[in-house]
Structure 1
């Protein structure tokens, strides 16, 4: 199905996905943080950071699948792909926490995710001269709802310690990489407009551990709407 939209809506795809994930987390009594990485995407290779407190991940977002090819403009990603090729332990960690996502223009536009390397680290993107696999690995692709369920169940993403180590590893491919992530998030404990600043992942983790989500108040058995019963 061809989309009637004429422009790229990469940011909107990210916002839709993060909104769905946040609602699902709140339904399970969890606090979800999903925020853009702003200019840090250059060395992280991802647009968005996400966590529900115990699992951590980053994701690059594209509007549609054909836009994945634009990653070949980012030479740092080629260095990462080559390094992953010879390190199966790091590759396993990468596939669990470093994702790429895009939308499919069917009747109700859906979002699909896969490990970044499974879609980008191949000869179709970078050419045959780099010694990468011939083509993408589509088999482990997740539709958005399946990924959300797996992430909130602890089956995707990395623990804090492993994720922090992975981010430090990513910084090796960037001269100005700091090895840590800065985050600016909405303060979920305030009704008024407010923001919290974190200069490292560790500080965010401490804050989340010390600020668990408030219990959801039970629904009232009474209803103010019309009654259709006897």
Structure 2
């Protein structure tokens, strides 16, 4: 079939939506489009006012394709090694996800623990490069937990995004997502994280 990355992304989101419905929790997702170059992620996954950045790959072999972003990945890994606060934020909200080529299971792991350990091991002296990934079912149960895991509240997430974009591109960048507005028509609207956060339901 080939490397159907969009198919993997679709199944990930369907699993998350199903778990959200079964758990009576809120879920939304926002593709980042060309912003992935400076956020090192394809999507924002959101539960209430909590956010995660997720990079998606067809299989574990494709994770090495992050070498194409090697300069930015090295800047990220070096920055995380020098900033314990941002390393903690990163561990909570920035992930990479893929389809395991042997089992077909959908897996997820902290971006640094997977990508930096593969591409920039000299910066990984203080992290567990042998840490096991989570299957999507386990990730989903924790993501929609009480409180949510693997994500950050909006203000902390904005601090991480500002640090991340400054670190990998040299300047802070505003994240813009495309979302439905609250009119009686189906209209898409570009929104900042602040604007999006104001429209999201509050965490129960």
**Bucket of the pairwise TM-score, normalised by the shorter protein:** 0.7 to 0.9
Q: Does 1:84 align with 2:80?
A: yes
**Higher-RCO chain (CA-CA 8 Å, sequence separation at least 6):** 2
Distance (Å, rounded) in 1 between the aligned partners of 2:155 and 2:52: 12
Contact 1:113–1:141 (Cα < 8 Å) also in 2: yes
2:159: which partner in 1?
165
* Superposed structure 1 runs of 4+ greater than 6 Å apart: 187-190
Q: Does 1:16 align with 2:16?
A: no
**Aligned length in residues:** 198
Distance (Å, rounded) in 2 between the aligned partners of 1:195 and 1:13: 27
Superposition deviation, residue 205 in structure 1: 1.0
Distance (Å, rounded) in 1 between the aligned partners of 2:134 and 2:27: 20
- Name the SS for the 2:108 alignment partner: strand
Instruction: Give deviations 1:14-35, integer Å, cap 9, x for gaps.
Output: 1110121112112222331112
- Name the SS for the 2:131 alignment partner: coil
Distance (Å, rounded) in 2 between the aligned partners of 1:53 and 1:31: 6
Instruction: Give deviations 1:94-153, integer Å, cap 9, x for gaps.
Output: 01100001101346x21110000001113x424x6xx32379724241110000000001
2:58: which partner in 1?
63
Distance (Å, rounded) in 2 between the aligned partners of 1:155 and 1:45: 20
Question: Higher helix proportion, which one?
Answer: 2
- Name the SS for the 1:137 alignment partner: coil
Contact 2:49–2:200 (Cα < 8 Å) also in 1: no
Identify unmatched segments of 5+ residues in structure 2: none
**Higher-Rg member (1/2):** 1
Identify unmatched segments of 5+ residues in structure 1: 213-230
Contact 1:43–1:177 (Cα < 8 Å) also in 2: no
Instruction: Give deviations 1:6-53, integer Å, cap 9, x for gaps.
Output: x11112111110121112112222331112110100000000111111
2:195: which partner in 1?
203
Contact 2:181–2:189 (Cα < 8 Å) also in 1: no
Contact 1:184–1:195 (Cα < 8 Å) also in 2: no
1:101: which partner in 2?
97
- The normalised TM-score by structure 2 is 0.86
RMSD: 2.5
